């Protein structure tokens, strides 16, 4: 492995050592004696300081690129052996991390084997706050926050909400390399890095400087540790996965990917659903934050445990609920009740109801559209059934040809009303919507029957009623729908 000259400096046991370190780049792979004519940028060189400085006969100089460590009163050979031992110790540490990747409790063992490097309490927690590994041998007495972590085996949902309010946890989750920040819990710092596996945030590593300040160069060693932690998570997808097997199956069905027949049969048995005939509805949730989700994982854990007639799974930044409402409203009411407890923490897009999983894809898209409507209009929840008219308007607006396939009689009447401030268009519309009954049409308009008949006769002088009169007797629904389409276009 490669280390920084700071890592060597921190482990040297000599009291009289002076760091002359400008860069500290982590590129050191081996140790060599100083030979001025042959310097390798990946090596650290050791020699007598007397070759470079006056009055330094008993001092040793350690050099790496533009960085140096001057050690007083130490023989170069002794320092060479000490640095070689330090390099070997770090190499053994990396071999231990590799071995931990094949262990059943790899994350815990990695923290245990890294204690001599971290020298402070640390823990790894899942996105829902549950601890995946905690540094051993650090008692609760060192700090109240550490005691709370030990007691709750991680961070509670309440604690994560408070952290979101106090330190904007959603932006902390954006850390993709070890980042040091001042703590709001006490007079110490913490180092954080998110553990990302296959673009899924599988966990977070946090180290607290509760016992001693962080050494310079520690962040590089922590980045090495994180690489092996992510390797371990990658090798255990059954544990560190964003969703369940059921979620994976539904996700495949949404995307139109092939699913084994055995998996579909097992899916029906587990949930006791008839996937071809039952009635379903999608709920799509997204956390109301601009950065990384904080409460999404905890919400997933809670909802998946209490919604027994629904499939709950994560899809990227979203929480997906596929609710079976075939056997009454109980399941849907339970979902609505749970969503009400979320307050302003989540946006939610809700699809229309639909039959059979063969329709998953379009209704999942519909839930996405309603979720986007939430964010555009500042709503916490948006239901597709409340926006049928606005969607039809959007369809007409997107296609200019929509306004060219209109019944000419209605278009002429609509233009006549605009020019003369009359109401013949709505009168003809009421005639069609009433099923060609004068009394019902008058009731729709809120006028007397005689007033309707007067308007009706006046309309005959404006447009041709030949085809309309035929439709009132033949009930040719294909032709009638052409009129309905035109009414819908103008009304949208």
Strands (E), 209-270: none
Asked if residue 303 and residue 266 are part of one domain, the reply reads yes
Q: Which of 335, 361, 385 is the last residue of a domain?
A: 385
Residues 6+ apart with CB under 8 A from 212: 119, 120
pTM of the model: 0.62
pLDDT grade for 301, boundaries at 50, 70 and 90: confident
Residue 450 shares a structural domain with residue 472? yes
Domain co-membership, 117 together with 94: no
Residue 49 lies in a domain: yes
- Both 261 and 357 in one domain: the answer is yes
Q: Are residues 125 and 19 in the same domain?
A: no
250 versus 487: which is more confidently predicted? 487
Asked whether residue 390 is domain-assigned, the answer is no
Residue 396: which pLDDT band, with cuts at 50, 70 and 90? confident
Instruction: Examine the pLDDT at 244 and tell me if it is beyond 60.
Output: no
User: Residues 277, 319: one domain?
Assistant: yes
Mean pLDDT along residues 32-45: 74
Same domain, 380 and 411: no
The CATH number for 280's domain is 3.30.70
Cα end-to-end distance, the chain, whole Å: 67
Tokens for 476, please give them. Answer: 């040719």
Mean pLDDT of the region 451-463: 93
Q: How confident is the model at residue 36 (pLDDT cuts 50, 70, 90)?
A: low
CATH code for the domain of 161 = 3.30.450.40
Residue 395 located in a structural domain: no
* Whole-angstrom distance, CA of residue 384 vs CA of residue 371: 10
For residue 124, tell me if it sits in a domain. yes
At 310, the pLDDT band (50, 70, 90 cuts) reads confident
* DSSP notation for 126-187: -TTSBEEEE-TT--GGG-HHHHHHHHHTB--HHHHHHHHHHH-HHHHTT--S-EEEE-SSSS
pLDDT at residue 245 is higher than 70: no
Per residue in 136-187, pLDDT tens?
A: 989 999 999 999 999 999 998 889 888 888 888 888 888 999 999 999 888 9
Assess whether 418 and 363 both reside in one domain: no
Please give the residue that has the higher pLDDT: either 459 or 291.
Answer: 459
- In this structure, are 219 and 281 located in the same domain? no
Ramachandran sector of residue 17 (left: φ over 0; alpha: ψ -120 to 50; beta: rest) = beta
**Which domain does 358 fall in, by range?**
245-385
pLDDT for 356: 87
- Per-residue tokens: 19: 């760091």
Confidence of residue 273 (pLDDT cuts 50, 70, 90): confident
16, burial (CB in 10 Å: exposed 0-12, middle 13-18, buried 19+): exposed
pLDDT, average across residues 62-89: 90
| pLDDT of the residue at 442 | 95
Residues 255 and 344 in one domain: yes
Is a pLDDT exceeding 80 seen at residue 85?
yes
Residue where a domain terminates, one of 202, 235, 268: 235
Tally of domains in the chain: 4
Q: Is 423 inside a domain boundary?
A: yes
Whether 393 maps to a domain, the answer reads no
* Residues 223 and 143 placed together within one structural domain of the fold: yes
64 shares its domain with 115 = no
Give the contacts of 248 (CB within 8 A, at least 6 positions apart).
313
Mean pLDDT of all residues in 467-478 = 91
CB-based burial label for 22 (10 Å; 0-12, 13-18, 19+)? exposed
Query: Which of 350, 385, 420 is the C-terminal boundary of a domain?
Result: 385
Q: pLDDT class for 205, splitting at 50, 70, 90?
A: very high
DSSP string for residues in 401-459: GGGGS--HHHHHHHHHHHHHT--HHHHHHHHHHTTS-HHHHHHHHTS-HHHHHHHHHHH
Q: What's the CA gap between 339 and 234, in Å, rounded?
A: 32
């Amino acid at each position: 492995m490669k280390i920084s000259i700071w890592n060597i400096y921190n482990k040297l046991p000599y009291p009289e050592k002076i760091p002359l370190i400008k860069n500290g780049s982590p590129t050191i792979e081996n140790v060599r004696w100083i030979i001025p004519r042959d310097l390798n940028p990946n090596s650290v060189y050791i020699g007598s300081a007397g070759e470079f400085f006056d009055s330094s006969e008993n001092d040793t100089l350690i050099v790496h690129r533009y960085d140096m460590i001057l050690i007083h009163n130490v023989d170069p050979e002794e320092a060479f052996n000490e640095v070689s031992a330090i390099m070997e110790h770090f190499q053994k540490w990396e071999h231990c991390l590799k071995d931990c990747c094949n262990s059943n409790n790899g994350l815990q063992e990695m923290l245990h084997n890294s204690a001599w490097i971290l020298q402070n309490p640390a823990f790894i927690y899942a996105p829902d706050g549950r601890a995946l590994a905690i540094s051993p041998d650090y008692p609760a007495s060192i700090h109240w926050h550490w005691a709370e972590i030990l007691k709750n085996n991680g961070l509670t949902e309440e604690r994560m909400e408070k952290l979101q309010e106090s330190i904007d946890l959603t932006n902390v989750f954006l850390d993709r390399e070890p980042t040091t920040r001042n703590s709001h819990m006490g007079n110490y710092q913490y180092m954080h890095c998110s553990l990302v596996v296959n673009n899924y945030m599988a966990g977070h590593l946090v180290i607290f400087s509760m016992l001693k300040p962080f050494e310079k160069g520690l962040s590089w060693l922590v980045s090495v540790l994180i690489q092996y932690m992510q390797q371990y998570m990658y090798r255990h997808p059954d544990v560190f996965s964003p969703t369940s097997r059921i979620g994976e199956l539904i996700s495949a069905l949404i995307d139109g990917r092939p699913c084994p027949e055995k998996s579909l049969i097992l899916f029906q048995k587990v949930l006791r659903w008839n996937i071809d005939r039952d009635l379903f509805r999608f709920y799509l949730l997204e956390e109301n934050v601009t950065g990384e989700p904080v409460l999404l994982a905890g919400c997933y854990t809670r909802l998946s445990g209490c919604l027994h007639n629904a499939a709950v799974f994560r899809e990227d930044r979203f929480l997906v609920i596929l609710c079976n409402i075939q056997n009454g409203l109980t399941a849907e009411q339970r979902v609505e009740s749970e969503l009400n407890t979320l307050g302003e923490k989540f946006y939610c897009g809700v699809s229309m109801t639909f039959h059979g999983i063969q329709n998953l894809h379009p209704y999942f898209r519909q839930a996405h559209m309603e979720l986007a409507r939430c964010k555009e209009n500042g709503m916490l929840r948006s239901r597709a059934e409340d926006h049928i008219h606005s969607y039809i308007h959007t369809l007409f607006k997107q296609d200019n040809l929509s306004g060219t396939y209109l019944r000419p009689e209605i278009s002429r009447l609509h233009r006549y009303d605009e020019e003369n401030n009359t109401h013949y268009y709505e009168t003809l519309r009421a005639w069609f919507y009433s099923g060609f009954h004068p009394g019902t049409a008058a009731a729709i308009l809120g006028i007397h029957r005689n007033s309707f008949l007067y308007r009706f006769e006046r309309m005959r002088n404006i447009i041709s009623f030949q085809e309309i009169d035929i439709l009132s007797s033949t009930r040719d629904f294909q032709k009638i729908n052409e009129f309905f389409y035109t009414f819908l276009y103008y009304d949208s």
